[in-house]
A and B are shown apart, each in its own frame.
Chain A
């Protein structure tokens, strides 16, 4: 839940985001504009870094819905931040598949590397560490999301390496951190090795 101290008095979409918001609303038939609540919350978050109460009220007004309905959506999804986050928002999944594949180690490593607990921001305002629900990358579990990128197939060491790289100002390559290509088997293909995409044999 939000910390009231952060809440700004007002919110307004910039001209540019407002155009995007209108485009989202226009996608839905008249009277069904409430369907645009999730993209609009995302736009507000991309503009401000988080979703404030003022922003939810602006969105509620735009979509002709009760503010509480917007808040329900914003608090249901972990992807919406209800308080300001650091430059890098580190979101570690701890749902079942990730947990079975060792997310506990990832969590411990992240906490150690950043020196903060879940829900907290580092003193320099660079990182916020969050525990989130399934992000749909179970095939590469365990994983974490940093801003818009997924870092997958983690263990304690690679978690630390990724975070240290961010600290140095680098942007590590997203995706599996253990050498896998996407979600191919580790160590390369084990079947259909002779086929090419062109249809012939390799």
Chain B
């Protein structure tokens, strides 16, 4: 542990720490462009120059490891002069078009030019201009502004694992560009925008629509996938302009997937902004009271023949309200697993990502079953890649063979391989058994198959046989794709006595045993299977559910309400209201509360606080906001029996369009056109397919 002095303050840091990291620990600010704590050190911008005693020249503090007894000075006249020189060189070819640049106001170069720039340039020569590059529909390029810090090059190669960017040429002719013919189609490409310290890479869908200082910032949680990334919603008026990731080391570090970031334009399109009732086959706009009256009449006639299916973005508050409402009406036909996933919710560990997201970095052997983490949760996939990069990590996959950005052994694509593993007949069994912290990830693609329960049972057996669950480690992981799912299972939004699953409910609707079906943002249910049932769709978007509906109740999207979601590792988190729901749309649990009044079965809570108290009573998970509530391994789960044939594949075909919001998004449609459905898409070859 070398000890050094920076600006007269002594600090002891771990060997191998660089001067800039030591200074960061002390809170001493050193300007930088190319250095980024999550990327490899490049040392090419030279902005972080400092003086070190006994060293003849200023040194780049980002690339200089600390030494015992080092005396560093960061604010001498010499340092300032050196940095001013660097800044002058950086500005030689920079267009200084800040007034029309989207980065203006949040630009590292702008900020640091205030401190180290000159008020006039000495260069008489013309500035160089660089042709813009085509990075696809998400990232806008203005390469003349580029200062060649190579953060984007390093991110796309190291973190995203799709090395398509590079610096071609040399000296003044150096240009950052993509490889000819390769698409910048990483599912994490939006992070390039955040990393770019200047305005060379900016948000294309939002370009020229905002100035950063006029946006209101609301810290919230993402509900576009089950990871529950920490996000910041930047809004102006009643419009979400952009979504940025927030640092959360336990969940998303500081990355965000492209769908979570760029699907926001879907929040403005296809919105349900008032109640509708179908009259003579056509949906007619009505008042809330009218819509409720129609529902009340039907519900009264239906008696207990009522069902609720919750969609993938339903929040816990709305689900508990519906659960309580149906209980008071005498029905237990509720389900939050519209894809038919065979997770019954009785054993909590059976549906959680038990190792936790950050914990996956400790695993040393990993088996993936019927999942494509790159499509289902790109940020989680980047974690696995990070683990793989450290070495001593063996991964294997049962499912499709495709590029996951890290090396793995492809064991086969059907359940017979899993059976062989459980029986110890497959060589990878020994790898898992001998690993200190073995783990498996089973995906919804496997669990939503008819034999999903058998596969779940096999996975459990494999976990037991290979010692995946032991003191301080549980490597049994279920990878969810729906933000609502874990919360729904935690509060028991599963069919009660006499009911099996969504198919069972739909079948009953078809036969007339269910007369009224409430769809809480459930658009992925096969609408035809609901037969003649009276369908009430409550949700935010005019998607499949609204087209089938007899009554539409306009709800709020995740940006428009304070709602609770539990992420895949069992971490309860709350979104915050950033904008108001459009028109007459309301927060979802309030709609249910109002409806319960009309039905004559008023719910016993009428404030958000009271609903959340009810939630906490349903499960203590909801009382521990922000915390992972771990689960005991507990009783056996899954089913016995023989697994069926067929490949174990992911349930996501098109990464860019998985839910009503992203299906309404123009940007996501453009991505689908440009990149196909993301990696390993079955229809279209992309630059990153494997």
Partner of B170 from A53, A68, A71, A75 at Cβ < 8 Å: A75
Inter-chain contact B169/A68, CB cutoff 8 Å: no
Please report the C-alpha to C-alpha distance between residue A71 and residue B164 in the assembled complex, in whole angstroms.
11
- Decide yes or no whether A72 CB sits under 8 A from chain B: yes
Please report the C-alpha to C-alpha distance between residue A76 and residue B182 in the assembled complex, in whole angstroms.
20
Min CB distance A82 to B, Å, is: 9
- Decide yes or no whether A184 CB sits under 8 A from chain B: no
Residues of A within 8 A of B171 (CB): 133
Residues of A within 8 A of B542 (CB): none
- Decide yes or no whether B67 CB sits under 8 A from chain A: no
Min CB distance B152 to A, Å, is: 12
Interface members, chain B 162-188 (any A CB < 8 Å): 163-171, 178-180, 182
Min CB distance B408 to A, Å, is: 16
Inter-chain contact B169/A66, CB cutoff 8 Å: no
Which residue of B has the minimal Cβ distance to A65?
B163
Inter-chain contact B164/A66, CB cutoff 8 Å: yes
Partner of B182 from A1, A4, A68, A75 at Cβ < 8 Å: A68
- Decide yes or no whether B296 CB sits under 8 A from chain A: no
Partner of B168 from A4, A66, A72, A133 at Cβ < 8 Å: A72
Inter-chain contact A72/B157, CB cutoff 8 Å: no
Mark contacts of A59-74 with chain B using CB atoms, 8 A cut-off: 1 yes-contact digit, 0 otherwise.
0000000111101100
Inter-chain contact B163/A69, CB cutoff 8 Å: yes
Which residue of A has the minimal Cβ distance to B167?
A72
Min CB distance B134 to A, Å, is: 15
Please report the C-alpha to C-alpha distance between residue A73 and residue B178 in the assembled complex, in whole angstroms.
14
Min CB distance A29 to B, Å, is: 15
Inter-chain contact B163/A66, CB cutoff 8 Å: yes
Min CB distance B42 to A, Å, is: 13
Tally of chain A residues near chain B (CB < 8 A): 13
Q: Given A68-B163, A68-B178, A75–B157 Cβ distance below 8 Å?
A: no
Min CB distance A21 to B, Å, is: 22
Which residue of A has the minimal Cβ distance to B180?
A53
Min CB distance B177 to A, Å, is: 8
Please report the C-alpha to C-alpha distance between residue A1 and residue B174 in the assembled complex, in whole angstroms.
10
Interface residues of A, dominant DSSP? helix
How many pairs of A and B residues are in contact by the CB < 8 Å rule? 34
Inter-chain contact B169/A71, CB cutoff 8 Å: no
Residues of B within 8 A of A53 (CB): 180
Min CB distance A5 to B, Å, is: 13
Please report the C-alpha to C-alpha distance between residue A69 and residue B170 in the assembled complex, in whole angstroms.
14
Min CB distance B679 to A, Å, is: 16
Mark contacts of A72-98 with chain B using CB atoms, 8 A cut-off: 1 yes-contact digit, 0 otherwise.
100111000000000000000000000
Residues of A within 8 A of B170 (CB): 75-77, 133
Which residue of B has the minimal Cβ distance to A72?
B166
Residues of A within 8 A of B166 (CB): 66, 68-69, 71-72
Min CB distance A197 to B, Å, is: 39
Residues of B within 8 A of A67 (CB): 179, 182
Residues of B within 8 A of A133 (CB): 170-171
Min CB distance A122 to B, Å, is: 24
Residues of B within 8 A of A1 (CB): 168-169
Min CB distance B121 to A, Å, is: 24
Residues of B within 8 A of A76 (CB): 169-170
Please report the C-alpha to C-alpha distance between residue A69 and residue B154 in the assembled complex, in whole angstroms.
12
Which residue of A has the minimal Cβ distance to B164?
A68
Mark contacts of B492-526 with chain A using CB atoms, 8 A cut-off: 1 yes-contact digit, 0 otherwise.
00000000000000000000000000000000000
Please report the C-alpha to C-alpha distance between residue A21 and residue B166 in the assembled complex, in whole angstroms.
25
Which residue of B has the minimal Cβ distance to A75?
B168
Residues of B within 8 A of A72 (CB): 166-168
Min CB distance A56 to B, Å, is: 9
Please report the C-alpha to C-alpha distance between residue A66 and residue B163 in the assembled complex, in whole angstroms.
6
Residues of A within 8 A of B165 (CB): 68
Which residue of A has the minimal Cβ distance to B165?
A68
Please report the C-alpha to C-alpha distance between residue A202 and residue B639 in the assembled complex, in whole angstroms.
100
Residues of B within 8 A of A68 (CB): 163-166, 178-179, 182
Please report the C-alpha to C-alpha distance between residue A66 and residue B180 in the assembled complex, in whole angstroms.
12
Which residue of B has the minimal Cβ distance to A66?
B163
Mark contacts of A124-153 with chain B using CB atoms, 8 A cut-off: 1 yes-contact digit, 0 otherwise.
000000000100000000000000000000
Interface members, chain A 44-61 (any B CB < 8 Å): 53
Please report the C-alpha to C-alpha distance between residue A77 and residue B170 in the assembled complex, in whole angstroms.
8
Please report the C-alpha to C-alpha distance between residue A77 and residue B169 in the assembled complex, in whole angstroms.
8
Q: Given A53-B180, A66-B157, A66-B179, A71–B163 Cβ distance below 8 Å?
A: no
Please report the C-alpha to C-alpha distance between residue A118 and residue B171 in the assembled complex, in whole angstroms.
18
Please report the C-alpha to C-alpha distance between residue A76 and residue B167 in the assembled complex, in whole angstroms.
9
Interface members, chain A 1-37 (any B CB < 8 Å): 1, 4
Residues of A within 8 A of B179 (CB): 66-68, 71
Residues of B within 8 A of A66 (CB): 157, 163-164, 166, 179
Residues of B within 8 A of A75 (CB): 168-170
Please report the C-alpha to C-alpha distance between residue A72 and residue B176 in the assembled complex, in whole angstroms.
10
Please report the C-alpha to C-alpha distance between residue A106 and residue B194 in the assembled complex, in whole angstroms.
48
Which residue of B has the minimal Cβ distance to A53?
B180
Min CB distance A6 to B, Å, is: 13
Which residue of A has the minimal Cβ distance to B171?
A133
Residues of A within 8 A of B157 (CB): 66
Min CB distance A75 to B, Å, is: 4
Residues of B within 8 A of A71 (CB): 166, 168, 179
Please report the C-alpha to C-alpha distance between residue A69 and residue B166 in the assembled complex, in whole angstroms.
7
Min CB distance A163 to B, Å, is: 26
Which residue of B has the minimal Cβ distance to A77?
B170
Of B166, B167, B170, B178, the most chain A CB neighbours within 10 A belong to: B166
Given contacts A66-B166, A72-B167, list 12 more A-B pairs with CB under 8 A.
A1-B168, A4-B180, A66-B179, A68-B163, A68-B166, A69-B163, A71-B179, A75-B168, A75-B170, A76-B169, A76-B170, A77-B170
Q: Can you report 19 residue pairs joining A to B where beta carbons are below 8 Å apart? A: A1-B168, A4-B180, A66-B157, A66-B163, A66-B164, A66-B166, A66-B179, A67-B182, A68-B165, A68-B182, A69-B163, A69-B166, A72-B167, A72-B168, A75-B168, A75-B170, A76-B170, A77-B170, A133-B170
Q: A interface vs B, CB < 8 Å? A: 1, 4, 53, 66-69, 71-72, 75-77, 133
Closest 6 CB pairs of A and B: A66-B163, A68-B166, A68-B179, A75-B168, A72-B166, A76-B170
